[in-house]
Amino acid sequence: MPTTPPIIDENTEDPNDINVALMLRVKSGGADAEIAFQELVELHQNAVIGTIAKMLGNASESEDIAQQVFVRLWKSAPRYEVKAKFTTFLYTITRNLVFNETKRKQRKKEHSLEEQEENSFTQIEDKQSHSPGDEVLQAELQSQVDKAIAELPEKQRLAVVLRRYENMPYEQIADVLELSVSAVKSQLFRARNTLRESLSHYLD
């Protein structure tokens, strides 16, 4: 009985080579296109969900938006060209959907700043009743960091998330945001100053 050839070469060590090979298999539309796509989803879904959650400040919506990201990835496969890292391509799709969602929320005013603050303090109080002091302080600090990041302008916010949580180099962040490297560094500089001011009470 013939066996299906492996989707990725086990000797390939560069993650981008693996991603590109998988995406080209999806693009080919061959018998293993769906298998290759599923491997891409498994490789990247946690990072994409995490990025979306940090961008929107709402973990409950992140899986739905992430699903839309991968639907768009699948639909864009026939037009895929190897011009940059695969993750640049993936996070550009993520950026577009997240920015669209942010604009939609701003138009409908679905979440006010007061509601976000109330939810944040509620989470802290719940943890206080179940956790020792050090853990409560750490949870409160993380909650305030997340809240401060969520209040940044969207390009600053995404630059911070990609740099801090995805360890993405400046050049790749520039490609995702369609900015120059110097502009990305400027966005990050302004964001860090804003975060330092917002969190000064916790950093003292």
For residue 145, tell me if it sits in a domain. Answer: no
For residue 102, tell me if it sits in a domain. Answer: yes
The pLDDT tens digits of the residues spanning 52-62 come to 999 988 778 89
**Would you tell me how many other CB atoms lie within 10 Å of the CB of residue 70?**
19
Exposed e or buried b per residue across 100-124, where buried means at least 16 C-beta atoms within 10 angstroms of its C-beta = ebeeeeeeeeeeeeeeeeeebeeeb
The DSSP letter of residue 2 is P
For residue 201, tell me if it sits in a domain. Answer: no
What mean pLDDT is predicted for residues 178-193? 96
For residue 163, tell me if it sits in a domain. Answer: no
Query: In the chain, how many domains are there?
Result: 1
The pLDDT tens digits of the residues spanning 100-128 come to 998 887 776 644 544 544 454 444 344 44
For residue 17, tell me if it sits in a domain. Answer: yes
CATH of the domain at 73: 1.10.1740.10
